[in-house]
Structure 1
Amino acid sequence: MNEGAPDNTPATLGDLMNWAVVQLRGAGCDTARLDARILLSEACGVDASRILAWPEDKVTDDAVTRFRAMIARRIAHEPVSRILGKRDFWRHSFKVTADTLDPRPDSETLVEWAIECVTNSAGEVPNEVSNKAPTGASNAGKSPAIIDFGTGTGCLILSVLGDVPGATGIGVDISPGAVACARENAESLKLADRCRFVVSDWDCDLDRELGGKTLAAGFDIMLSNPPYIAQDEMADLAPDVRDYDPYNALSDGADGLGAYRILAGVAARLVRPGGMVIFEIGRGQEKAVHDLLTQHGFDAIEYRRDLGDIVRCVGGRKAG
């Protein structure tokens, strides 16, 4: 990869890194060095630390070809996670496909809160945006039941189940491809015996898929990261998101609140008295979602901020 080197000069880890960083920076990639190191590690089958420690290591022609193809995809703004087909989230690695939203670190805010809800049985509920411990859900004991709408990869519910051994769950998604991906992730994490995934447009098909008895028993926690980006905001999204995440996982095609209008009613039907509903939301949507939950019988509404100090989640406890 060095300028002036003969075409048959073997490539080294250092050569490939330097070349890739230049290419990615030229394409406007803000994380050029990190992305290059992750992709080179994958293409060559070596630990990322080796790239720094032994940059003079020779690389096979096959690995060079794989790496060049990966960099070409990244230059086209395809996310690293989609190039690799996996994303690290919470404590696990999740398979990611074209049918699923790419899990993001800010969504771990919801996971953390849900885990607290099923492990804490009491606590003061703040009246303002904060990071204080929430009130626990009903039945916050050994076997809480959790349902996750718009489950995608299953990263939310599977992350919670992984940290709460007694919990069981159901993940719901309208996309058969997403449900298939979530099932694979459950299998790889050895959680398939505690989590069932079903194809349904919100709760339209749940009675048929799950049976009235399951739904009548209710759930202690309801989770959802629904499509919340307004249609008129889609053009402003980074191409890494806009061009690669499924449209229906990003936007409702309207004001971004359509899913919450449906799910607030679903929560009123499915969450047990004293149970919790937790939604991930977009910037500035907390008041609208707060009002929807209040209208459907939820109180003790509180919020959680993400890594960027933006209100990212709204949750409430079902009265009763």
Structure 2
Amino acid sequence: MSGCEPGESVGAFLCQAGQLLRAAGIEGPRMEARLLLAHAMGCRQEDLLRDPRAPVPPSAQAVFRGSLAARARNVPMARLLGHAGFWTLDLLVDGSTLIPRADTETLLEAALDALPERGGVRRVLDLGTGTGAVLLAALSEFQFAFGVGVDREPAAAALARANAARNGLAGRAAFLAGDWSAPLSGRFDLVLSNPPYIESAAIPALMPEVALHEPALALDGGADGLDAYRQLAAAIPGLLAPGGRAVLELGQGQEAGVAALARAAGLRPLECRPDLGGVPRALVLAGP
């Protein structure tokens, strides 16, 4: 590629990779190239910058080229690296679940403020657990609690189980495959959920990393985006312990619709917490 020195050095590979990713429309192409090459070589990004003339081993070249081609096709970076950060955790990711996003951390902030007596929270439920991100982050903060995560996809429940072990929380969490609250009995001090909430017709217009590479089951909220909330509103009153709280993630523009569903089910909306972009993101609910 023009402007790059030929060869098999770190610097040559990074230059060529940056140009390829830029041409593919990837934001921050040089930074992403460094992430992929460091991953392929099993080193830190700082090591690449320290000696740009160092050779790239043939085995790492093959891995790097494969990852680079996939990233140019908009495969998410976290899928290529195999893990993603969330809250204070490092989580394995695969194609069975959504990649955890920073916006979802708003649920944890809202839950911590809604239940300031952390020692009193003993049972936590996460409906649609995915990677287990929300439940495991909650358990890391509510340190006397035991958590249950439910997901319709058995592979997601298995991944969440692995993430609990990865983060030292396996003894305080159980993960079930089932349809929302169907496999559950008992009541919980905190119920959390980041459900599918994208309108079906809007999914093809999402950014390619999401529309093409995230599981449709975890995105599709039905014609109006509210199908999952209807099920949650019906289930949560029977799941909340006295004084308990539920916190639901919302899509943009859904606050009024979800709050109305909650009120109709006998729940009381207490707060809607915005994310860092100012979008109302976490709806806090109390029981009747």
TM-score category of the 2 structures, normalised to the smaller one = over 0.9
The partner residue of 1:286 within 251, 255, 275 is 255
SS of the equivalent of 2:157 reads helix
Q: Deviations over 1:49-76 (max 9, x none)?
A: 1222221222111111111111000001
1:203 aligns with 2:178: no
| Cα distance between partner residues in 1 of 2:259 and 2:275 | 17
Cα deviation for residue 2 of structure 1 reads: 8.0
SS of the equivalent of 2:90 reads strand
| Matched residue type, 2:47 | R
| Cα distance between partner residues in 1 of 2:222 and 2:272 | 25
Alpha-carbon contact 2:121-2:189 (below 8 Å) kept: no
Task: Map 1:77-156 to 2 at 5 A.
Answer: 77-118=74-115, 120-121=116-117, 140-156=118-134
1:177 aligns with 2:148: no
Alpha-carbon contact 1:24-1:75 (below 8 Å) kept: yes
SS of the equivalent of 1:272 reads strand
Which residue is 2:137 aligned to?
159
Which residue is 2:243 aligned to?
274
Cα deviation for residue 142 of structure 1 reads: 4.2
Superposition TM-score, scaled by structure 1 size: 0.86
Cα deviation for residue 111 of structure 1 reads: 1.8
Alpha-carbon contact 1:170-1:198 (below 8 Å) kept: yes
Cα deviation for residue 24 of structure 1 reads: 0.3
Please say which of residues 298-307 and 90-99 is displaced more in the overlay.
Answer: 298-307
Alpha-carbon contact 2:263-2:269 (below 8 Å) kept: no
1:43 aligns with 2:40: yes
Q: Deviations over 1:186-210 (max 9, x none)?
A: 111111111110111112233xxxx
Indicate the percent of aligned positions where both proteins have the same amino acid. Answer: 39
Cα deviation for residue 252 of structure 1 reads: 2.8
1:76 aligns with 2:73: yes
| Cα distance between partner residues in 2 of 1:51 and 1:2 | 21
The gaps in structure 2 that reach 5 residues or longer are none
1:12 aligns with 2:9: yes
Q: Deviations over 1:90-141 (max 9, x none)?
A: 11111111111111111111122223333x14xxxxxxxxxxxxxxxxxx53
The gaps in structure 1 that reach 5 residues or longer are 122-139, 207-214
| Cα distance between partner residues in 1 of 2:137 and 2:68 | 30
| Cα distance between partner residues in 2 of 1:154 and 1:313 | 17
| Cα distance between partner residues in 2 of 1:301 and 1:117 | 9
| Matched residue type, 2:71 | R
Cα deviation for residue 300 of structure 1 reads: 4.6
SS of the equivalent of 1:55 reads coil
The partner residue of 1:190 within 168, 171, 175 is 168
Cα deviation for residue 34 of structure 1 reads: 2.0
Please say which of residues 270-279 and 292-301 is displaced more in the overlay.
Answer: 292-301
Which residue is 1:259 aligned to?
228
SS of the equivalent of 2:150 reads strand
Cα deviation for residue 5 of structure 1 reads: 6.6
| Matched residue type, 1:81 | A
SS of the equivalent of 2:13 reads helix
**Aligned-residue RMSD, C-alpha:** 1.7
| Matched residue type, 1:95 | L
SS of the equivalent of 2:261 reads helix
Cα deviation for residue 37 of structure 1 reads: 1.3
| Matched residue type, 2:54 | D
| Matched residue type, 2:73 | A
| Cα distance between partner residues in 1 of 2:222 and 2:9 | 48
* Alignment coverage as a number of residue pairs: 288
| Cα distance between partner residues in 1 of 2:212 and 2:108 | 26
| Cα distance between partner residues in 2 of 1:246 and 1:5 | 40
Q: 1:309/1:5 Cα in 2 relative to 1: closer, same or farther (>3 Å)? A: closer
| Cα distance between partner residues in 2 of 1:249 and 1:237 | 14
| Cα distance between partner residues in 2 of 1:196 and 1:177 | 14
SS of the equivalent of 1:279 reads strand
Alpha-carbon contact 1:109-1:312 (below 8 Å) kept: yes
